[in-house]
């Protein structure tokens, strides 16, 4: 017996040693998958309760907040008012067919389902908001419970076999709201009620990685994050660790940078729906979801350990900081969202800013410090809100106010940057006092997106539209989109085509792939677009357009503008929303023009023009280097949001506009244009620039478009053909390229800085350049660039295969000149 006992002891020791070895040699970081980490032995019911409380705090704020704070008090008042209105209009009869009379179309209109849950959520928020007269109101709770049961029995449950109308309501909108209500009313719900609501959510969102009604469609980007969050909150509600892990692990597909399709790109681009720029909108939702999820799971057994999660902090700097100007999120990356009356650029910007403030609560210290400084600057600069905190949740309000009150946090300086987002055909140029944006399209990127009855007049928004942001902070707000002439947008070369309702979700591509540009040292750059409207409006209009972004001026060139149709063609230099009276003064060649509404004039031999801004710091100068015939128009325009979005108001709204256009006539052949935008210059400075311009057009043809900035000694050239082409400066050879390319060059007495890209993104080989200068050595070369000759000219080969439009740079030392 002693011998057997010793044998058993030995067996136990061996088993223990084996288990210890297994633990010691287990990989330190295993992939987070639902199979590998469904739950953790250390997880207790208390941890689920803590997560639920944490989510409730995100929804209604920590109950220790000061109700005497005027901003918090105002939020409590608005919350109570909204909930009281919803409660008083709630249909309570047992025989009811809907919860609210204006949301009674739910049998065919899925948004009424989401709308009903959202109203119940607002009521539940008031029930949980300390300081509200509805706080803890048992009658309110009873009506919420009854309404939830009615929704489960009649509208949203596990027995419904087919989703109808919009899948988003079934798989994202409604389950998100239902989950939030269940968290807020958790202590009032019976076990059977909790089970019912969880079963409904499981039915419509069993797996966050795929669409429920179409299992072959893999969820990406914002939609995937939304559904992951649905699954996580559902897991918290019934303490199911597998569901928390399933939701968390679904995020791992989102974190890495992509090289095609939906998601964030290394160059700062964000794409949704395969070919639509959506940094604002879907990208915004994704960032919000990531911040909420990371804040929720931080420090828990389901903390996100995927190493790629760190990319989120880079998204803020590379994707969001460049496209937010003084609190406004640029509409050129907002897709259909520009047509939503309740979501203008500053409202979208504020949503992103509060999210970055949330990220700063748990980001690594270096990023957190930078985020707080950026946030503080944007909030201080944005003067479009009567009260910036209105509309925020109490939790968001508290986080943001803490940053604004912290004297140790200094606001960041205005960003000075030039950036080509080659994967979404967008370009920005930022300088103190202004931001310039370019919205382009290619065979890769759609001209615009319409769908769900939204963006019904977006035809020209991606066809070379230019945006100029300055101190006129409300330029693209205050009913801009329903009142501007959507067929004459600034920067576009237009024939006014594009009628009828756009086809929902259709790709509207360019026939050309030459769209993009090159950026040098993140400070200077050029952009170009070879365009055809064949697949957008059906028009035969085509041409080549370039923009040269050096310092505080923007040079625009157009060439090869051709059309076979009977429509008149024009290039819109400017269409600017004016002040409330519409009397901003326009001066042309030193002569003040009439301020009467309806004034128009065909002006010949225009050298320069100047428009007084609506506020200080928003003047704009215009220079026409070749002299130009300019058509000017001052007009009042009236429209309604319903015209651009089926969900918009039918109430008429009006704005005054002034436009400047270069007319090319009917059926132009190889027409050209040139003009220069001079942000923030007054009339005197504009006139002086016209007399002493620091730019020269080196070429404006179907083969190349090139400009030299004499102050910087910088040259930009877009080569349009796969053929050897030499650019000349005053007759002397300067740059030769043998392929389609974009080249920016900055020359000092000692060095040459060079930036090169393949905007076509189709070159599987190399671009060969010859610079007609002599060099002694290369100081720094991108690995893709090789110098094959330094003297008597510099010859370079740039390997652009698979580069996705990326800019490659080189710094080359010039040879010392000898007498």
Say whether 744 sits in a helix, a strand or coil: strand
Of 233, 200, 205, 235, nearest in space to 219 by CA: 205
Asked if 276 contacts 815 with a C-beta cutoff of 8 angstroms, the reply is: no
- Which helix (H) or strand (E) element contains residue 22? helix 2-24
Distances (CA, A) of 371 to 285, 672, 727: 18, 44, 44
What is the spatial distance between Cα 453 and Cα 111, in angstroms, rounded to a whole number? 13
For residue 299, what are the contacts with CB-CB under 8 A and spacing of at least 6?
none
What is the spatial distance between Cα 143 and Cα 135, in angstroms, rounded to a whole number? 14
What is the spatial distance between Cα 533 and Cα 562, in angstroms, rounded to a whole number? 11
Asked if 660 contacts 622 with a C-beta cutoff of 8 angstroms, the reply is: yes
Quick count: other Cβ atoms within 10 Å of Cβ 32? 18
Residue 631: exposure state from Cβ atoms within 10 A (0-12, 13-18, ≥19): middle
Any idea which residue has 């202004």 for tokens?
Answer: 434
Torsion of CA 380, 384, 389, 390, to 10 degrees: 180
Catalytic residues: 273, 282, 336
What is the spatial distance between Cα 578 and Cα 632, in angstroms, rounded to a whole number? 14
What is the spatial distance between Cα 184 and Cα 162, in angstroms, rounded to a whole number? 29
What is the spatial distance between Cα 609 and Cα 623, in angstroms, rounded to a whole number? 7
Q: Which letter does DSSP use for residue 581 in this model?
A: T
Q: Which letter does DSSP use for residue 341 in this model?
A: T
Write out the two tokens for 150. Answer: 């009615």
What is the spatial distance between Cα 324 and Cα 346, in angstroms, rounded to a whole number? 9
Write out the two tokens for 776. Answer: 């002694």
- Please provide the DSSP assignment of 749-760 as one string: SSEEEEEEE-TT
What is the spatial distance between Cα 414 and Cα 433, in angstroms, rounded to a whole number? 8
What is the spatial distance between Cα 161 and Cα 149, in angstroms, rounded to a whole number? 19
What is the spatial distance between Cα 24 and Cα 22, in angstroms, rounded to a whole number? 6
What is the spatial distance between Cα 767 and Cα 736, in angstroms, rounded to a whole number? 10
Asked if 57 contacts 126 with a C-beta cutoff of 8 angstroms, the reply is: no
- Please provide the DSSP assignment of 72-112 as one string: HHHHHHHHHHHHHHHHHH----TT-S-SSGGGTTTTT-THH
End-to-end, the C-alpha distance of the chain in Å comes to: 107
- Please provide the DSSP assignment of 753-779 as one string: EEEEE-TTS--SSEEEEEESS-EEEEE
């Amino acid at each position: 017996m002693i011998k057997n006992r010793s044998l058993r002891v030995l067996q136990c020791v061996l088993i223990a040693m084996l288990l210890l070895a297994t633990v010691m040699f287990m990989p330190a970081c295993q992939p987070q998958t639902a199979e590998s980490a469904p739950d953790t032995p250390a997880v207790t019911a208390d941890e689920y309760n803590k997560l639920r409380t944490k989510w409730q705090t995100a929804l209604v704020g920590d109950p220790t907040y000061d109700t005497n704070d005027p901003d918090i008090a105002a939020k409590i008042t608005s919350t109570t008012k909204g909930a009281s209105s919803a409660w008083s209009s709630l249909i309570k009869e047992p025989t009811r067919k809907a919860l609210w009379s204006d949301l009674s179309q739910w049998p065919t209109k899925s948004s009424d389902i989401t709308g009903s849950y959202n109203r119940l959520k607002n009521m539940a928020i008031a029930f949980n908001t300390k300081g509200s007269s509805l706080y803890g109101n048992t009658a309110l709770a009873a009506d919420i419970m009854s309404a939830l049961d009615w929704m489960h029995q009649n509208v949203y449950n596990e027995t419904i076999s087919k989703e109808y109308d919009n899948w988003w309501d079934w798989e994202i909108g409604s389950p998100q709201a239902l989950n939030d209500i269940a968290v807020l009313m958790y202590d009032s719900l019976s076990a059977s009620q909790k089970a019912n609501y969880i079963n409904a959510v499981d039915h419509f969102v069993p797996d966050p990685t795929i669409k429920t009604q179409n299992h072959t469609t893999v969820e990406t980007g914002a939609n995937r994050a939304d559904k992951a969050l649905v699954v996580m909150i559902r897991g918290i509600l019934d303490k199911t660790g597998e569901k928390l892990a399933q939701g968390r692990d679904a995020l791992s597909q989102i974190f890495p940078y992509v090289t095609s399709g939906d998601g964030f790109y290394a160059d700062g681009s964000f794409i949704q729906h395969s070919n639509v720029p959506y940094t604002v909108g879907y990208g915004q939702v994704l960032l919000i979801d990531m911040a909420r999820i990371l804040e929720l799971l931080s420090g828990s057994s389901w903390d996100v350990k995927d190493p790629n999660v760190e990319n989120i902090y880079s998204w803020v700097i590379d994707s969001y900081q460049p496209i937010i100007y003084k609190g406004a999120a640029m509409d050129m990356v907002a897709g259909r969202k520009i047509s939503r009356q309740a979501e203008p650029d500053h409202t979208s910007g504020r949503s992103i800013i509060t999210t970055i403030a949330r990220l700063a609560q748990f980001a690594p210290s270096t990023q957190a410090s930078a985020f707080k400084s950026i946030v503080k600057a944007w909030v201080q600069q944005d003067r479009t809100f009567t009260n910036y905190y209105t509309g925020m949740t109490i939790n968001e309000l508290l986080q943001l106010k803490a940053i604004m009150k912290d004297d140790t946090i200094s606001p960041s300086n205005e960003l000075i940057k030039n950036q080509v987002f080659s994967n979404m055909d967008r370009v920005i140029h930022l300088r103190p006092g202004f931001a310039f944006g370019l919205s382009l399209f290619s065979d890769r990127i759609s001209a615009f997106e319409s769908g769900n009855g939204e963006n019904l007049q977006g035809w020209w928004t991606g066809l070379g539209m230019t945006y100029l942001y300055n101190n006129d902070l409300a330029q693209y707000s205050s009913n801009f989109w329903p009142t501007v002439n959507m067929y004459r947008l600034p920067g576009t070369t237009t024939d006014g085509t594009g009628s009828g309702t756009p086809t929902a979700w259709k790709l509207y591509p360019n026939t050309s792939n030459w769209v993009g540009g090159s950026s040098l040292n993140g400070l200077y750059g050029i952009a170009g677009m070879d365009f055809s409207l064949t697949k957008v409006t059906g028009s035969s209009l085509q041409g080549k357009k370039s923009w040269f972004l050096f310092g505080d001026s923007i040079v625009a060139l157009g060439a090869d503008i051709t059309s076979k149709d009977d429509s008149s063609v024009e290039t819109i230099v400017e269409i600017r929303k004016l002040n409330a009276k519409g009397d901003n003064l326009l001066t042309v060649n030193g002569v003040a023009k009439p301020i009467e509404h309806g004034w128009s004039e065909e002006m010949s031999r225009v050298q320069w023009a100047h428009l007084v801004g609506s506020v200080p710091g928003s003047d704009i100068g215009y220079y026409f280097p070749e002299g130009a015939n300019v058509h000017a128009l001052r007009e009042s325009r009236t429209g309604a949001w319903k015209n651009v979005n089926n969900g918009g108001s039918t109430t008429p709204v009006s704005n005054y506009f002034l436009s400047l256009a270069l007319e090319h006539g009917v059926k132009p052949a190889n027409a050209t244009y040139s003009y220069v935008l001079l942000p923030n210059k007054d009339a005197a400075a504009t006139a002086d620039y016209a007399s002493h311009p620091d730019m020269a057009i080196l070429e404006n043809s179907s083969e190349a478009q090139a400009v030299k900035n004499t102050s910087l000694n910088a040259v930009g050239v877009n080569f349009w053909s796969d053929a050897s082409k030499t650019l000349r400066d005053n007759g002397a050879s300067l740059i030769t390229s043998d392929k389609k390319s974009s080249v920016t060059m900055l020359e000092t007495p000692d060095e040459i800085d060079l930036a090169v890209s393949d905007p076509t993104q189709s070159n599987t080989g190399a671009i060969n350049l010859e610079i007609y200068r002599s060099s002694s050595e290369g100081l720094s070369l991108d690995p893709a660039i090789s110098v094959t000759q330094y003297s008597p000219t510099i010859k370079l080969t740039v390997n652009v295969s698979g580069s996705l439009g990326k800019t490659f740079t080189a710094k080359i030392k010039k040879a010392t000149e000898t007498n």
